[in-house]
Structure 1
Amino acid sequence: MLLTADLLLNYQRCSRRAFLDLYGDLNQRDAPNDYLLKLIQDSIANHQQILTGETYQKPSYRSGDWAAGADATLNLMRQGVDQIYQPVLLTEQDGVTLISVPDLLTKQPGESVFGDWIYVPTEIKLSKRPKQEYQIIVAYHTKVLAAVQGAWGETAWLLLRGKGYYEVDLWEAIPRMEAILEECLATLKNDQEPEVFISRSRCSLCHWYSHCYAIAKADQHLSLLPGVTPSRYLQLQALNLTTLESLADLH
């Protein structure tokens, strides 16, 4: 199994989305809506603006060929290139290939398998806030990078739009990342598809929205009722109130 940082990010938002991204029928995915397309365009423009005037190299490989990308990245790291844009980092853990593609690797003094230098990761985000889910991904990049270069870096960064660099507290973020990573791998290795739950604020940009909504509507899932949040749904489950009929029986 292959686990990418994008898959781990989506797992933090919705375990069902991560499961469907790995095992779902791609023909059932929604096309990107106009708002999502604008976000993608804005993110590309943000990257271009940040990289203007920067000196960097980017590994050359055929899209989707992770092994070739990792080899090309290793060549750049061995050369001691000062800055690498969107490198491909691979390591194995319990039969799973962990794939990391941070936006930037920056060379710093230190000791690694490559010589008297190490690399530290930076993730470029369109957001102005250092969201916890982003910090978890930076910690994931740090973990995979440490396996590749044979040394842990002490710093890792988010580069936020209009706010500049934000240093991620790795001492706090890495243990949380490891716990989330363990949960994610357990979910993705399980044959049981996570339960559907419709949350308009979370689901509106997801390419599985129509697929999940159809299932929820057919099942008359309680998440379609106004005011049924994930936390309230857990409370209802604890009371064995999981259907419209069981709720109606209360009256």
Structure 2
Amino acid sequence: MKEVGGAIRLAATDLSNHLACRHLTSLDLSVARGERTAPDFEAPDLWVVRERGALHEAAYLAFLDKCGLEVLNLANAGDEAQVLGETQRAMKRGVRVIAQGALSHGRWFGRPDVLRRVAKPSQFGNWSYEVYDCKLTRETKAATILQLSSYSELLEKIQGCAPEWMWVIPPGENFDGEAYRRAEYAAYFRCVKDRLARAVENGSRIGTYPEPVAHCDVCRWFRECDRRRRGDDHLSLVAGIRKQQRNQLEEWDTETMAKLAVLPIPLKERPKHGSREGIERVREQARVQVTGRSEKRLVHEVFLPVAEGLGFCRLPEPSADDVFVDLEGDPFVGQFGLQYLFGLAFNNAGDELRYEKRWALNREEEKKGFEWLVDEVMRRREA
């Protein structure tokens, strides 16, 4: 999102951001209009994902080149105007694969990972293009479909025919693509696109709040939003509380954790949203947290009664032969990830806690580490 010629230009990323968090759209819009400066913060692991993504895309392009396809990479082709021009010229020539090209129409702009030529007529000739997006995740998310739909719409405007398919390339030796028929997601795409357009047009006239969402884990605005929630003593700070319960409490003018901590229980009024027991449970949770905050110490209480066959009571009685297994892995290594640590914790003959481990930095070491773990467990079981 950026201001160009007095108008806000939108990109495919803005669609996925809006889907993840409406408040994020408001914040990015204020930056685009020069009303504030973007924070100098990045989630610690985001650069790892970005680097792995770049390596995955490079590997895919190398695979296509090895298959004998002409690959034109425009990653370093110049500024946006130059890349836009180079992309259209390459499409007119019928280049088989165009990487990091640029597409633009109206207020929308996009940089798809890969465009591949297909045998479908367009204004360029007996060929046209479809979008391929390289993703590290094993499961395609809604945000990816929105981005692909945005690129495909831009492609349609440029080449004069609608791409039938959109493709996701997950990690794999043969880079087998996952095909998604564009028409099946068109209505959903239009809905989110129109919602984003209205949010941009309305701007600051519609207030948004930094509700905690999954995107917070990788968002550059996390620190600012977290400070605001804590400053407001927001109900989302209560551990285990649900949005439905927060909505009900706000209807009762109980909009802070401190107010919830002193809410009279048992409840006199039946909640419209959620159960009476659920509201009372989060009330007690808020009381514990507020007590710990005011007394500056960790406070914990057992809310549920100890009952046979429930919770930790389902575990067997402690034994001197108990072994605790520790497994650590990285899902972004290779095609299937890598378990890089196999560990065992146990009490030795002197009743001292011991920890033994095996590191694995490649497939062979991973196999040996797993075999060692199984052998150790079986040996202790048979002893």
> Does the TM-score normalized on the shorter chain lie above 0.5?
yes
* Residue 29 (structure 2) aligns with: 22
The reply to whether residue 243 of structure 1 matches residue 230 of structure 2 is: no
CA RMSD of superposed structures (Å):
2.2
State the distance in 2 between where 1:172 and 1:230 align. Answer: 30
TM-fit CA distance, 1:6 = 1.3
**CA shift in 2, pair 1:45/1:210, >3 Å:** same
TM-fit CA distance, 1:238 = 5.4
Deviations 1:207-248 (A, max 9, x none): 110011111111112222212344544454555543346535
Percentage of identical aligned residues: 22
Which structure is larger by alpha-carbon Rg, 1 or 2?
2
State the distance in 1 between where 2:99 and 2:159 align. Answer: 17
State the distance in 1 between where 2:226 and 2:52 align. Answer: 28
**Matching residue's letter, 1:217:** R
* Residues 29 and 211 in structure 1, CA contact (< 8 A), matched pair in contact too: no
**CA shift in 2, pair 1:237/1:102, >3 Å:** farther
State the distance in 2 between where 1:84 and 1:56 align. Answer: 6
* Residues 107 and 120 in structure 1, CA contact (< 8 A), matched pair in contact too: yes
The structure 1 residue matched to 2:94, chosen from 80, 85, 91, is 80
1:186-197 correspondence to structure 2 within 5 Å: 186-190=198-202, 191=204, 192-197=206-211
**CA shift in 2, pair 1:105/1:27, >3 Å:** closer
The reply to whether residue 217 of structure 1 matches residue 230 of structure 2 is: yes
1:103-182 correspondence to structure 2 within 5 Å: 103-162=113-172, 164-182=176-194
1:32-43 correspondence to structure 2 within 5 Å: 32-43=42-53
The reply to whether residue 2 of structure 1 matches residue 9 of structure 2 is: yes
TM-fit CA distance, 1:56 = 1.0
TM-fit CA distance, 1:2 = 0.8
State the distance in 1 between where 2:186 and 2:249 align. Answer: 33
* Residue 202 (structure 1) aligns with: 215
Q: Secondary structure at the match of 1:111?
A: coil
State the distance in 2 between where 1:20 and 1:131 align. Answer: 23
* Residue 45 (structure 1) aligns with: 55
**Matching residue's letter, 2:224:** H
Which sections of structure 1, spanning at least 5 residues, go unmatched? Answer: none
**CA shift in 2, pair 1:34/1:244, >3 Å:** closer
**Matching residue's letter, 1:140:** S
* Residues 43 and 126 in structure 1, CA contact (< 8 A), matched pair in contact too: yes
Return the structure number with greater relative CO, CA threshold 8 A, min gap 6: 1
**CA shift in 2, pair 1:176/1:236, >3 Å:** farther
- Paired residues, number: 243
State the distance in 2 between where 1:115 and 1:181 align. Answer: 30
TM-fit CA distance, 1:158 = 0.8
Q: Secondary structure at the match of 1:75?
A: helix
State the distance in 1 between where 2:121 and 2:252 align. Answer: 56
* Residues 139 and 174 in structure 1, CA contact (< 8 A), matched pair in contact too: yes
State the distance in 1 between where 2:248 and 2:90 align. Answer: 52
